[in-house]
Amino acid sequence: MLRIQRQHSIWIAILLLYGFTTLYYISLTRSGNAKQKTNIQDQVGFQSTQSFHKTVDRATQNIPQHGDQQPTQKVGTVSKYNHPYYPAEPLSGDLSHPVPGFKIGHSEKSAKVYIGIPTIKRDGVSYLLQTIDSLLSNLSPRRNDTAIVVYIGELDTEFVRSQAIEIMHTFPKEVADGTIQVISPPSNFYPDWDKVLPPSFNDPMNRIKWRSKQNLDQIFLMMYIYNLGADYYLMLEDDVQSSSHYMDTILQHAENLGQKDYFFISFCSLGAIGKLFRARTLPSYAAFIHIFWNRKPLDWLQLDYVSTQICSYDESDKQCAARRKHYMLEYKPALFQHVGKVSSLKGKQQLLKDNTFRV
């Protein structure tokens, strides 16, 4: 009997030892897996950060250096951006199919509407990020048929780089999925300003250069977007606020017009803000701007383009203006508001507002 009890005690001890050993092994395994998981997560986070900065570096290393003579572009392409007083042919010098000197983002989105935002340096302030944020925030729910192209109209390498990195940091998802593209012109895009700017309207030369450059930038941006295959182009500036669900209203109104003949629909009464064009009209309009790019401001050329097509020489200015209203349609209340106070023209304050705007 005593022998049986001893054997029983031995078996109990063996079982307890096995149990403790098993629990200890499981504890070590879990601890090791947790540490490994933590290490993997840390490594993935580190790799994601590295990947982001590598993307920025790859994107920005091809920004054209200030003063370079040739644009940075794909191997095998040839660009010749020349802007004489009178172009031998509208949209000549590769303006019919512009090649950016720098680009981040992609165009596979095939959006129905592309929003074009030209931007340049302003003295001590930038409204660009808040403009993009307003546009994205008010696309609610987020639409898959709308994309944004930001055109940085500068040749200053560091400025282009800093703007691109700010946009990528602030809107990484939208850059990754094609909602936002950022482009800038090749380094030989702009002409020798001293040779191509005739005096006009008693304006100082810096103002003539400012408005002429705006025209060239807009031609590049319009034709770049035209070649992306959009149905519509929405012209904006880099210092605007948008209303809620603005794109729902825009597309509903545009689609309701069907095949009605019009030049644009204006969703803001100010200058070049909130003008919706059918994309198929862009080559004709861009060609017109190219002919007179260093003669008149963009908003004046809009009037001239329409007047040339529809107004008769024996009509009064008042009759022509009434006729233009049927082709330059206005939508009220305004869907966009101008918010910038510091103009892109150095030394100028821009305080204009559209009083019909509603958030």
Per-residue pLDDT of 94-127, as tens digits, reads: 899 999 988 998 866 678 999 999 999 887 788 8
| Residue 221 is assigned to a structural domain of this protein | yes
Whether residue 294 contacts residue 212, with contact meaning beta carbons closer than 8 Å, is answered with yes
- The boundaries of the domain holding residue 214 are 99-338
Nearest to 247 by CA among 276, 278, 282, 218: 276
Sequence-distant (6+) residues with CB within 8 A of 46 are none
Element (H, E) at 40: helix 2-60
pLDDT band per the 50, 70, 90 thresholds, residue 312: very high
What mean pLDDT value characterizes the chain? 80
Tell me the angle at which helices 298-310 and 205-226 cross, rounded to the nearest 10 degrees.
60
Pick the more confident residue, 347 or 47.
347
Please give the Cα distance from 22 to 17 (Å, whole number): 9
| Residue 34 is assigned to a structural domain of this protein | no
pLDDT band per the 50, 70, 90 thresholds, residue 74: very low
Strand 264-266, strand 328-330: pairing: parallel
| Residue 22 is assigned to a structural domain of this protein | no
State the Cα torsion 222-77-82-300 to the nearest 10°: 0
Q: How far is Cα of residue 269 from the mean position of the Cα atoms in its chain?
A: 22
| Residue 345 is assigned to a structural domain of this protein | no
Element (H, E) at 298: helix 298-310
Sequence-distant (6+) residues with CB within 8 A of 143 are 247
Most confident stretch, 81-95, 105-119, 154-168: 154-168
Task: Specify the CATH number for the domain of residue 173.
Answer: 3.90.550.10
Provide the number of structural domains found in the chain.
1
How many other C-beta atoms lie within 10 A of the C-beta of residue 202?
5
Which pLDDT does position 26 carry in this prediction? 42
Residue-wise pLDDT tens digits, 266-307: 999 988 899 999 999 999 999 999 999 999 999 999 999 999
| Residue 74 is assigned to a structural domain of this protein | no
| Residue 105 is assigned to a structural domain of this protein | yes
Please give the Cα distance from 141 to 135 (Å, whole number): 12
Element (H, E) at 72: none
- For the chain, what percent of residues have pLDDT higher than 70? 73
Mean pLDDT of the region 188-200: 88
Mean pLDDT of the region 6-22: 50
Which pLDDT does position 68 carry in this prediction? 39
Which pLDDT does position 131 carry in this prediction? 96
Report the first-to-last Cα separation within the chain, whole angstroms.
94
What CA–CA distances, in Å, run from 174 to 49, 61, 117, 165? 17, 21, 15, 13
Q: How far is Cα of residue 98 from the mean position of the Cα atoms in its chain?
A: 16
- For the chain, what percent of residues have pLDDT higher than 90? 50
| Residue 170 is assigned to a structural domain of this protein | yes
Residue-wise pLDDT tens digits, 224-261: 999 999 999 999 999 999 999 999 999 999 999 988 99
| Residue 353 is assigned to a structural domain of this protein | no
